[in-house]
Chain A
């Protein structure tokens, strides 16, 4: 046996073992992956590999019950319905500006539209006090 033949024989045995392990894992419902390439196909030719094996979903590949399309649809529909209910509820429109007790009225009563300029004037005057007439430089 040449070196090349020996090497191929070893590889063939290795892949055959990997494929057998993969089959065992798939039977147990666990993740099964098999190596691709020429040699495994040769091993498959020896009857060790069923062609359907890679496509069989393993336990890990199965989506959780909570991820089922029906659950997703129900959640999305419930969210949209709740959103519409809040938007359409009486008083759903904000009353910030048009009610006397709204936020704007409250802000107006506290700082007022002139509040900020007045505050700036106070700061400016405190930094540069207006000089009295006749004060010496």
Chain B
């Protein structure tokens, strides 16, 4: 888990940095490190106040243990509460950082050229906080649910391929056709309104951000085995042989992937907005920064519409059917 977490966070962070550089921006290490320290240390203080050092470390230990063993309910609940608090405290710290930098800006109002830079920098705690929550606390929380539903990983994988092949094929076909229809609708309307320009959706910084940031999150969270188990549970759910634990895990896993994609869009939007504000007055910077913000968010919404929401809803519906079965 620790290796997947570190490599996943590395891929996601590298995606954000690459998106910033390809959109023409630069990252200032010292202010970034200061903002990062603030949004990491302040929430840890809140966690220490709530759970103490032993409770906070215990939550990290429960999530990072490499063994896929069942956590008991109390242990899973305590660890989950710790990561929920850390995520929310990170959001609060990001808001506080934004306000503090805005208040500092008020001392420099006599220099109009500094206002844009300060406004842009004030968004950095929010960007870094969202990255920390998406790359650290969300995967750790997912790891807790993975351990609590460890039975999902005991389902015989061979059964998914044997019985009900026709049903599984129909399910895949239905998913591909549905997602294709949604994609086609978006493309046709976009092309019709934008006079044939579909290319802007392939803006390289946005593609890097929206392809590799969620990929890093997926690696840190469910990982290849978790995704395989989730898809297997959906296939098995088609002919009623999925386990409740399998479908619950699939639901948690697809919810994680959909949230990760939307978080990537949000982070890209905030980053684009920050660099747009920093470059106020330089008209050549408007296009790349706006593109990073808007195109990335558009890709996130498109992914959510075509892939994230249907997969999560499919897991929910199969789980509802299974729960009602006597």
Contacts and interface: CB of A to CB of B under 8 A. Distances in A.
Nearest to B207: A86
Query: What is the size category of the interface that chain A forms with chain B?
Result: 35 or more
Contacts of B290: 96, 103
A84 B290 CA distance: 22
Chain B interface secondary structure, helix, strand, loop or mixed?
helix
A103 B208 CA distance: 19
Given A79-B11, A79-B212, A96 B224 contact: no
A86 B206 CA distance: 11
Interface residues of B, number: 45
B10 interface: yes
Interface string B15-35: 100100111100000000000
A102 B291 CA distance: 11
A56 B200 CA distance: 55
Contact of A86 (B153, B208, B215, B285): B208
Interface stretch (A11-19, A64-72, A129-137): A64-72
A72 B3 contact: yes
B308 interface: no
A75 B219 contact: yes
Interface in B261-315: 283-288, 290-291
B108 interface: no
A5 interface: no
A54 to B, nearest CB: 11
Contacts of B287: 94, 96-97, 102-104
Contacts of B285: 97
A125 interface: no
A103 B194 CA distance: 10
A32 B53 CA distance: 30
Most A C-beta atoms less than 10 A away, residue of B3, B203, B287: B287
A3 interface: no
Given A60-B153, A66-B225, A87-B22, A92 B204 contact: yes
Interface of A: 31, 57, 59-67, 69, 71-73, 75-76, 79-80, 82-84, 86-87, 89, 91-94, 96-98, 102-104, 106
11 contacts: A57-B67, A60-B68, A61-B68, A63-B68, A66-B228, A67-B224, A76-B8, A82-B212, A84-B18, A86-B18, A91-B204
